[in-house]
Structure 1
Amino acid sequence: MADRRLQVFHAVAKHGSFTRAAETLYMTQPAVTFQIKQLEEQFNTRLLDRGHGRVTLTPAGDIVFAYAERILGLSDEMETRIAELTDELTGVLTIGTSQTIAGYWLPMLLDKFMKKHPRVIPRVFVANSENIENRVAAHELDVGLVEKQASDPALECTLACQDELLVIVAQGHELAAASSFKASDLQGHPFIDRDPGAAIRALAEDFFRANGVPPESLNRRAELGSLPSILHLVKQGLGFAIVAKAALNDYNNRGLVGISLEPRLFSSLNVLVPKDRFRSRLHSTFAEFAVSMFTNMERVEGPPAEVVAHSDTANPSTHS
């Protein structure tokens, strides 16, 4: 209900970029530029300075930005309060999720939630856990689903369940016959790693460091932000990787062997929401629904079983 020009201006000012604002608002860059031009014409003054690769506010822009934050916040709160007079949840829900969660956990969650609340429109953004955490804290996303505990004090982080992290290699690889791996067993072997900022990369680095292997000494052959790409390279015999058991199953583990670490290592599925934001019933309901669903799944299926696969028919099971 708020003026679209104010929404666009607020996004450009917040990100310091027309391109980033367009991505956030799901608009084209020319459309963003047009909205800003209209707003500047209305006030008959320049609101933004464009130069040196970044957009900054003029003195007039500072005033408009301060009022835009208040107006947009009140508009959101008003719409939410009116919507909550009815029993049916409605509206767009922006969700940020890591790749593993997007590939395995999220489809089940959205299926159940959308059947229960058919007028809700999920809008999903997939990135590494660090990126998601930052965007939820910045109020760019309503809810985050990540594989690590949040470090930002502005976020409320609830642990929903855990999943074991496994070393995976191609069948026939020299490491495939192992029953488990200590950190030192993997040192020197080619490693297909996740991209910086990924939760599983951080957990793996902590594991190696805690067990006497400096992460910088690992023989990294590649650093990839795409989980399917990692699994493909491992299948080709180019090295080992460390992935969540759920992801190994979800992306068809035929041709791959999953082996536990020693001591065993686990990732966690955490639900993030901002602490300091007016939280709509939609945001709270989805966050509570996600925590309840995953917690109940883990309780029903029990703790993760020891996973070591050696044969062509081996298929490590998912615990949660």
Structure 2
Amino acid sequence: MRIGYLETFCQVVEEGNISKVAKNNFITQPAITKQIRQLETLYGTQLFERNNGNLVVTTTGKRLYEIAKQLVFDYNQSFAMIDQVKGIESSSLKIGASFTIAEYILPHVLGEFKKIHSNIDITLEVSSTPNILHRLRENKIGMALVEGEVYTDEDLIVNKFAEDELVLVCSPDHRTFALSQSVRVEDLSHEKFIWREENSGTRLLVEKMLGENWSDIINIYMELGSTQAIKGAVEINLGVAILSSLVIDTELKQNMLKKINIENVELKRDLWAVQRKERFVNKLEGEFIKFIKNYQF
């Protein structure tokens, strides 16, 4: 049996679609099917079944997947480790980042890093913090750069690389806040909040800081899928929002948004660089982690 067969099997489990895996690997669909059948013959069990036209992994297939993905991971790690011992440096950096970090921090950081390592290839995946951490645990990326809550466990190495402040913003034409520099928490209950989706790092952190009664304070008027959309909605006075200070610098300078302090409330969060403990960290990844920790934001 070839390790490539197990890798193909894992991809089919993850994608749930043989034709997509074939397309991603530039091989034919029958070739994928043949590899799966050879594995089924080797293990003497059915790994997939068809259910109303959908490909469904069997119970034995699920158990094999848990072992196979680790075998494939260790196999690929062995090459990375030996290459480094031989003095062959990796030229590929695979990073996952949450939306705010990807949009407002990494363009500058990666640009500066590329000036030092001009011949490297950088792949960046962008999603919510939970999705990016899932991709890290599935070995699809080498490191995760995320904000908000990161629940450490035995599998992860978590390092703080920067700090961010969350601030309340409104339109300069806001009916009550336009002439204010600060407001009380109880004043917020009368406002229409423009908010991100439920699993966004910013939203989870604010809900935690405001406590279990946050829903009595925050009146969710609108949920939007991007920070840029939220800024636009606040600018035209549809409501107020709590946003990262990293994303509103231009709007504040151009008087498109107004920052309001919340009395006796400090909304700060750490930005995290996360890696898997058991994963071999190549020299390039190690240099990037050191670079971003020392970067002047």
Q: TM-score range by the shorter chain?
A: 0.7 to 0.9
Q: Distance in 1 between matches of 2:58 and 2:281?
A: 29
Provide the secondary structure at the position in 2 that maps to 1:202: helix
Shift of 1:62: 5.2
Partner of 2:222: 222
The answer on 1:170 being equivalent to 2:171 is yes
Describe the superposition over 1:184-216 as per-residue Cα deviations: whole angstroms up to 9, x where unpaired.
Answer: 121121000111111110121123227xx4325
Q: Structure 1 residues 165 and 292, CA, compared in 2 at 3 Å: closer, same or farther?
A: same
Partner of 1:81: 82
Q: Distance in 1 between matches of 2:28 and 2:98?
A: 28
Shift of 1:149: 4.2
- Higher alpha-carbon deviation: 173-182 or 267-276: 173-182
Provide the secondary structure at the position in 2 that maps to 1:264: coil
Q: Distance in 1 between matches of 2:29 and 2:202?
A: 39
Q: Tell me, which stretches of 5 or more residues in structure 2 are unaligned? A: none
Q: Structure 1 residues 208 and 68, CA, compared in 2 at 3 Å: closer, same or farther?
A: closer
Q: Structure 1 residues 29 and 250, CA, compared in 2 at 3 Å: closer, same or farther?
A: farther
Q: Distance in 2 between matches of 1:222 and 1:4?
A: 47
Q: Distance in 2 between matches of 1:206 and 1:258?
A: 22
Q: Distance in 2 between matches of 1:232 and 1:32?
A: 46
Q: Distance in 2 between matches of 1:180 and 1:190?
A: 17
Describe the superposition over 1:127-149 as per-residue Cα deviations: whole angstroms up to 9, x where unpaired.
Answer: 12222222223322211111124
Answer yes or no: is the 8 Å Cα contact 2:189–2:216 preserved in 1.
Answer: no
AA matched with 1:105: I
The answer on 1:37 being equivalent to 2:33 is yes
Provide the secondary structure at the position in 2 that maps to 1:178: coil
Partner of 1:306: none
Aligned length: 287
Shift of 1:273: 0.6
User: For the aligned residues, what is the CA RMSD?
Assistant: 3.2
Q: Distance in 1 between matches of 2:131 and 2:277?
A: 18
Shift of 1:163: 1.8
Partner of 2:287: 285
Shift of 1:114: 1.7
Q: Structure 1 residues 29 and 82, CA, compared in 2 at 3 Å: closer, same or farther?
A: closer
Shift of 1:33: 5.0
- Higher alpha-carbon deviation: 77-86 or 179-188: 77-86
Answer yes or no: is the 8 Å Cα contact 2:89–2:284 preserved in 1.
Answer: no
Partner of 1:17: 16
AA matched with 1:123: T
Partner of 1:313: none
AA matched with 2:173: G
Provide the secondary structure at the position in 1 that maps to 2:205: helix
Answer yes or no: is the 8 Å Cα contact 1:228–1:251 preserved in 2.
Answer: no
Answer yes or no: is the 8 Å Cα contact 1:149–1:157 preserved in 2.
Answer: no
Q: Structure 1 residues 38 and 125, CA, compared in 2 at 3 Å: closer, same or farther?
A: same
Q: Distance in 1 between matches of 2:188 and 2:226?
A: 22
Q: Distance in 2 between matches of 1:61 and 1:220?
A: 40
Q: Structure 1 residues 214 and 134, CA, compared in 2 at 3 Å: closer, same or farther?
A: same
Shift of 1:159: 1.0
Describe the superposition over 1:210-252 as per-residue Cα deviations: whole angstroms up to 9, x where unpaired.
Answer: 7xx4325521111222111111111121100111111112578
Answer yes or no: is the 8 Å Cα contact 1:165–1:260 preserved in 2.
Answer: no
Provide the secondary structure at the position in 2 that maps to 1:173: coil
Percent of residue pairs bearing the same amino acid type: 24
Answer yes or no: is the 8 Å Cα contact 1:5–1:35 preserved in 2.
Answer: no
Q: Distance in 1 between matches of 2:252 and 2:89?
A: 38
Matches of residues 21-170 of structure 1 in structure 2 within 5 Å?
Answer: 36-43=32-39, 45=41, 47-51=47-51, 55-57=56-58, 59=60, 66-67=67-68, 69-83=70-84, 85-86=86-87, 88-91=89-92, 93-153=93-153, 154-170=155-171
AA matched with 2:17: F
Shift of 1:165: 1.0
